[in-house]
Structure 1
Amino acid sequence: MAWSIAGTLHVEPVLTRPELLAEPVLAAVRAMDAADIERIGVTEIDPTLADTAAFCEHYGSPLEASANCVVVAGKRAGELRYAACMILATTRADVNGVVKRRLDVRKASFAPMDDAVGITGMEYGGITPVGLPADWPLLLDARVAAAPELVIGSGTRGGKLLVPGDLLAKLAGAEVIEGLAG
């Protein structure tokens, strides 16, 4: 597949570079239909450039084609509830509005880094919606689901996945939400 958003990146079929994927990401990709796997590219990057702005600037990939996965937590009746939010890098998740209501919690906030990393099995700065815990809601901003091409994390800081947004909308627990981010 030709990726118009790749900039200077060398993109390969996802399963040709399994070392660029965190274990839960690799397991999730291997469980997908062959037709979906063919729609996912992977690229190696400098791990010091994993943060979106630095990545886009260095590799010439458009910021508006990058999507970030943020882990959010909230409590209700002593129960800790998690969700992942997929938003375009040019937007911010409405954590204390849309996400709080969806999780049915009094207050929602970004999960502490150690919790997000420990629970997902992914590296901070590389967390991705592919391979998240199956019982988590995956909240996708409608613009993410509609994007023809996106650059997202691979579960490691040394790689990025290139995917169409509609593929993310097919992931377990995915819910496409208008106005998730502004």
Structure 2
Amino acid sequence: MRAPIGTFEDAAPAVDRLDLLVPPVARAVSKGWGDVPTDRILHVDTDPAIADTAVFVEHHGAELLDTSANCVVVAGKRGGDVTLAACVVLSRTRVDVNGVVRKHLGVRKVSFAPMDTAVGETGMEYGGVTPIGLPAAWPLLLDPAVVDEEWVLIGSGSRRGKLIVPGKALASLPGAALLEGLGLEV
């Protein structure tokens, strides 16, 4: 199967590759969400050594920078309470943590969650966190530019492999909220 974006030689429906996905992502992919047919979620098998965005797009095509999205886990604090959330922005932008995220979560301070927290709470590998399969109670903050892409390349839950999904499919995930200005141009 040919991937709709990028120069991937090994693409297939993610439901056919559940063994390559971490458990929370495999569960989410196998049951689907919203009105997204499970065969529209594609998996591309890739080398974990080139998982970081800059190296990845250099290897698989610079045009991917425009259709790749990063998912980062943040921790918002107000008093003794901590709220974990995920933010998804296009790879060429950065998350407006201290503006849009802080205001939306109604917290006094927001920072990127420590690696052990992000990994432990999601069941995913650091550098491969994806919005698919996150804890259902978490807010999932999406930049509208991500949802507007016909196809988006995102993590697969591990550093090996990526998922290609219709941008609009991300807006149907549990806890999803579109936030204008979430992604700031770098």
Question: TM-score, normalising length from structure 2?
Answer: 0.93
Matches within 5 A, 1:50-129: 50-60=51-61, 62-129=64-131
Unmatched tracts of structure 2, length 5 or more: none
Letter in 2 for 1:148: E
Deviations 1:41-95 (A, max 9, x none): 0011111111111111112252111000000101112111011000000001100
Letter in 2 for 1:46: D
Percent identity over paired residues:
54
Distance 1:14 1:157 in 2: 15
Name the counterpart of 1:170.
Answer: 172
Matched, 1:41 2:27: no
Distance 1:127 1:35 in 2: 20
Distance 2:107 2:71 in 1: 20
Is the contact made by 2:68 and 2:152 (CA closer than 8 Å) also made in structure 1?
A: yes
Distance 2:8 2:130 in 1: 22
Would you identify which runs of 4 or more consecutive aligned residues in structure 1 move more than 3 Å?
A: 1-4
Matched, 1:144 2:146: yes
Distance 1:140 1:11 in 2: 25
Distance 1:2 1:35 in 2: 19
- Aligned-residue CA RMSD in angstroms? 1.5
Deviations 1:156-176 (A, max 9, x none): 111100001100000000001
Distance 2:183 2:103 in 1: 14
Is the contact made by 2:89 and 2:146 (CA closer than 8 Å) also made in structure 1?
A: yes
SS at match of 2:104: helix
Q: CA shift at 1:8, angstroms?
A: 3.3
Distance 1:110 1:179 in 2: 18
SS at match of 1:17: helix
